[in-house]
Structure 1
Amino acid sequence: MALLNFGGVEENVVTRAEFPLEKALEVLKNDTVAILGYGVQGPGQALNLRDNGFNVIVGQRKESASWTKAIADGWVPGKDLFDIEEACKRATYIQFLLSDGGQIDGWATVKKHLTAGKTLGFSHGFGITFNDQTGIVPAADVDVVLVAPKGSGTSLRRLFQQGKGLNSSYAIYQDATGKAYDKVIAYGVGVGSGYLFETDFRREVYSDLTGERGVLMGAIAGIFEAQYAVLRENGHTPSEAFNETVEELTQSLMPLVAENGMDWMYANTSVTAQRGALDWRHKFREATRPVFEDLYQSVKEGKEAAIAIDAARRPDYRESLAKELAEIRESELWKTGKTVRGLRPENA
């Protein structure tokens, strides 16, 4: 572990140089890692672990779409693919990757097989942080840890296959064996993390829920819709409005930010763009900060957790979700986006 300086603040960071794959394999050589759930994060983590040489099995509800997907990915029923209860029996390290609602429903099964000395892993602090709502309270004689890749399971897998890595946070909630640190870092290296930075369960879920509802998904979608509407109302064509709102951001400017930062992106645009962006950023910051403050408070008070849990338990949730997503997909903005994507050289 190294102390690195981020903007004047020191943080604990673990790189693959100081904790290489060989060391990770040695730490978990006697463990059977069970990935519970093969939905969002499960495939990426399970496949990366398998490719890296770890002893990994998958636990998934039989005959589900995810069970079928696991078989298509090469997992073999009765060999390294089991129902959730059987996977829990066989595992010494249980990585609990069911959805937040699924974790509530599946906790009784997992808890039954969490015997002394086992490790319970998460990739989200939700179940533990909001345990007054989830009921997830592990016994004191097991290690409870977290490795949270900072992106989708699809991105985790793609970057791994490209020889790269997706950064992950790590946390230790409970160290019953005295070996929780080595195990959680070994797991993080095993799933292909670029580097691992320290957090705790509460900070992870607070930042994650804020980010998803904010810049990463909710805010950016709302901003897209607002700018596109203003351009269209002022006589701009769908193609022009989409290119100026979405396409240029995702295909041109964000890669520059990812490469060397926001200042470097500004430095590689025209003076007209630089001056306007630098001036207007203050107005957008001041306009949106109160919204982010409200959002963070809602997360902190558990309101967002309650909304998510209630939604997951609604029998018609998937049906209503499909309608909401269809509304987005069928809007002029995203119909235009589909056409524009099809015109990219690689898709033409």
Structure 2
Amino acid sequence: MLARLLRQMPPTARAARAAMGVRRLAAMPLHPQKKFASKYFDVEEVMFADQPEQIVRGGRTLFPKLPAALEGVKQIGVIGWGSQGPAQAQNFRESLEGSDIKVKVGLREGSSSMKAARACGFTEEKGTLGEMYKVISESDMVLLLISDAACVEEYKNVFKALKPRTTLGLSHGFLLGHLESVHEQFPADVDVVLCAPKGMGPSVRRLYEQGREVNGSGINASFAVHQDVTGRATERALAWAVGVGSPYIFQTTLNAEWRSDIFGERCILLGGVHGMIESLFRYYESHGMAAHEAFKTSGEVITGPITRTISHDGIKAVHDNLSPADRQIFKTAYCASYTPSRSIIEECYDSVSSGNEIRDVVMAAKRFDKYPMGCIDNTRTWKVGAEVRKAGGTPEQRKAVPVNPLTAGVYCAMMMAQIDCLYDRGHVYSEIVNESVIESVDSLNPYMHARGVSYMVDNCSVTARLGSRKWAPRFDYILTEQAFPAIDAKAAPDEALFQRFLAHPVHDMLKTCSSLRPSVDISVS
């Protein structure tokens, strides 16, 4: 049966499978998507390597279409003021300016966030700020942007407060993961949709502000329709993504999103890169490098030139831009780091998919009052990093640091290991690239480059912050224990592994993505 299916695959798909040495058929994702259509937004089909996917192009030119796409919606309730709430509430309000659709923020009575919301122009006097359950009960579209742990604590009351035929919007599928684990479901009489910007809230707001005069500036997003009761769920989900400023909108499912999102932030997006820089810094110091130089060669190289190269030209360009001698160092570091990284990455995906990470987040929330999360940039690595940033000029000037081939090999190996894990688990190409590459280089790494690891991690969700703290030490240890000794021993590279890297379909995927990037790069200085 498998042999017959392989013979029936188109040549490009067979070549991709052979190049990757993977176990599943590229043309048969385990998280399939249904085709969608829109009356108000143009839907395009694009090829990611051998896989067709549908996208919608956003942009400010579409803002006048939002009221029609949101037909039946008189009030949008934005619930919560955490990482995503401030950005999405302000962006959506600006995008709907001049329409009769109200964006109203809902917060707990007496919340300390009330003051911050008022400072952003949401007030009781204007009817744009109120108690969360009252806002939920009176809104036609509810964007539930409270923390994941709060969702678990409050969802039964939230469901009771929803009007029938309301559209419930989520920016993360965490709640679905929890409902599955306790064998419950969303209310049957409401739409359930997703708009998941591929970056932390400050990035969503920052790029929207940068792009006020530039069409197509923003953070890309994924959307999904989990339940469609009104018959308008797709239009409302797309309008939401356009309204918060997403220049390109990709389709996913709620089930695939929560797995890939929780997993990705624990690996290369946050936890993996955090642990990697810690281990590289110590490695270079142990080999006689001065402290500032060690941080430049690890943290600055990753968040500066490597990030910029991948953002604009793809992962393979990091290798191709090196000299022949440096390519050999890259190869050795890549092959030494891939398998150790992959072992932790596979464990992490299993932990996420099984619901263990969701349970960890829920349990941790109960300890916060007594044991809050501590600061993560007090180690020698990040204190030296702060000195480097202070002494080294602007973030743009610091991006000129030369690429170290060993650092590049380690970083690309971890990124590719995550890509392969998601591919093997059946995620579609756009989701693989967004959760492993785009969010990293276009949203998160620039913040670490400008202000350090704590600023990057702790402007994300509580789920992400907890996951980064839990998994960063695992990546740190396994690189120190396994990858670096192999590099020092000059272990012979695995030629087959490296050839799979050079011929990997992700390079074609990223070529497609390079044509779907925001019109301006984020500036965080």
Which TM-score applies when normalising by structure 2? 0.62
Instruction: After TM superposition, give the deviation of residue 224 of structure 1 in Å.
Output: 0.8
Deviates more, 1:256-265 or 1:139-148: 256-265
Describe the superposition over 1:289-329 as per-residue Cα deviations: whole angstroms up to 9, x where unpaired.
12111111111111111111110122436x4412xx2xx32
Alignment correspondent of 2:86: 43
Deviates more, 1:112-121 or 1:13-22: 13-22
Q: Equivalents in 2 of 1:135, 1:74: separation in Å? A: 40
Alignment correspondent of 2:95: 52
- Secondary structure of the structure 2 residue equivalent to 1:63: coil
Question: How many corresponding residue pairs?
Answer: 343
Note closer, same or farther for the CA distance 1:346–1:280 as it changes in structure 2 (3 Å cut).
Answer: closer
Alignment correspondent of 1:337: 385
Alignment correspondent of 2:124: 77
Q: Equivalents in 2 of 1:245, 1:298: separation in Å? A: 29
Instruction: After TM superposition, give the deviation of residue 278 of structure 1 in Å.
Output: 3.6
Which TM-score applies when normalising by structure 1? 0.92
Deviates more, 1:230-239 or 1:260-269: 260-269
Alignment correspondent of 1:123: 171
Instruction: After TM superposition, give the deviation of residue 60 of structure 1 in Å.
Output: 1.1
Q: Equivalents in 2 of 1:133, 1:219: separation in Å? A: 27
Note closer, same or farther for the CA distance 1:134–1:149 as it changes in structure 2 (3 Å cut).
Answer: farther
Q: Which one-letter code corresponds to 2:85 in the other structure?
A: G
Task: State whether structure 2 residue 197 is matched by structure 1 residue 149.
Answer: yes
More strand by share: 1
Note closer, same or farther for the CA distance 1:18–1:4 as it changes in structure 2 (3 Å cut).
Answer: farther
Spell out the pairing of 1:288-303 with structure 2 (5 A cutoff). Answer: 288-303=341-356
User: 1:104·1:134 contact (CA, 8 Å) conserved in 2?
Assistant: no
Note closer, same or farther for the CA distance 1:17–1:236 as it changes in structure 2 (3 Å cut).
Answer: closer
Instruction: After TM superposition, give the deviation of residue 346 of structure 1 in Å.
Output: 3.4
Task: State whether structure 2 residue 358 is matched by structure 1 residue 305.
Answer: yes
Spell out the pairing of 1:135-214 with structure 2 (5 A cutoff). Answer: 137-163=185-211, 164-214=217-267
Q: Equivalents in 1 of 2:110, 2:258: separation in Å? A: 31
User: 1:104·1:136 contact (CA, 8 Å) conserved in 2?
Assistant: no
Deviates more, 1:81-90 or 1:101-110: 101-110
Question: Any gaps of 5 or more consecutive residues in structure 2?
Answer: 1-42, 212-216, 398-525
Match of 1:321 among 373, 377, 381: 373
Instruction: After TM superposition, give the deviation of residue 283 of structure 1 in Å.
Output: 2.8
Instruction: After TM superposition, give the deviation of residue 27 of structure 1 in Å.
Output: 1.6
Q: Which one-letter code corresponds to 2:237 in the other structure?
A: V
Q: Which one-letter code corresponds to 1:102 in the other structure?
A: A
Instruction: After TM superposition, give the deviation of residue 38 of structure 1 in Å.
Output: 0.7
Q: Equivalents in 2 of 1:338, 1:29: separation in Å? A: 50
Note closer, same or farther for the CA distance 1:173–1:18 as it changes in structure 2 (3 Å cut).
Answer: farther
Q: Which one-letter code corresponds to 2:373 in the other structure?
A: L
Task: State whether structure 2 residue 55 is matched by structure 1 residue 26.
Answer: no
Describe the superposition over 1:115-145 as per-residue Cα deviations: whole angstroms up to 9, x where unpaired.
2211000000010132045786322111110
Task: State whether structure 2 residue 298 is matched by structure 1 residue 245.
Answer: yes
Q: Equivalents in 2 of 1:301, 1:159: separation in Å? A: 35
Q: Which has the higher contact order (CA 8 A, sep 6+)?
A: 2
User: 1:57·1:81 contact (CA, 8 Å) conserved in 2?
Assistant: yes
Task: State whether structure 2 residue 60 is matched by structure 1 residue 7.
Answer: no
Alignment correspondent of 1:65: 112
Q: Which one-letter code corresponds to 2:222 in the other structure?
A: S
Q: Equivalents in 2 of 1:174, 1:33: separation in Å? A: 18
Q: CA RMSD in A?
A: 2.1
Instruction: After TM superposition, give the deviation of residue 77 of structure 1 in Å.
Output: 2.2
Q: Equivalents in 2 of 1:153, 1:280: separation in Å? A: 34
Among all aligned residue pairs of Structure 1 and Structure 2, give the percentage whose two residues are the same amino acid: 32
User: 2:57·2:249 contact (CA, 8 Å) conserved in 1?
Assistant: yes
Q: Which one-letter code corresponds to 2:84 in the other structure?
A: Q
Q: Equivalents in 2 of 1:2, 1:241: separation in Å? A: 46
Note closer, same or farther for the CA distance 1:249–1:65 as it changes in structure 2 (3 Å cut).
Answer: same
Note closer, same or farther for the CA distance 1:77–1:273 as it changes in structure 2 (3 Å cut).
Answer: farther
Q: Equivalents in 2 of 1:76, 1:88: separation in Å? A: 16
Instruction: After TM superposition, give the deviation of residue 234 of structure 1 in Å.
Output: 2.4
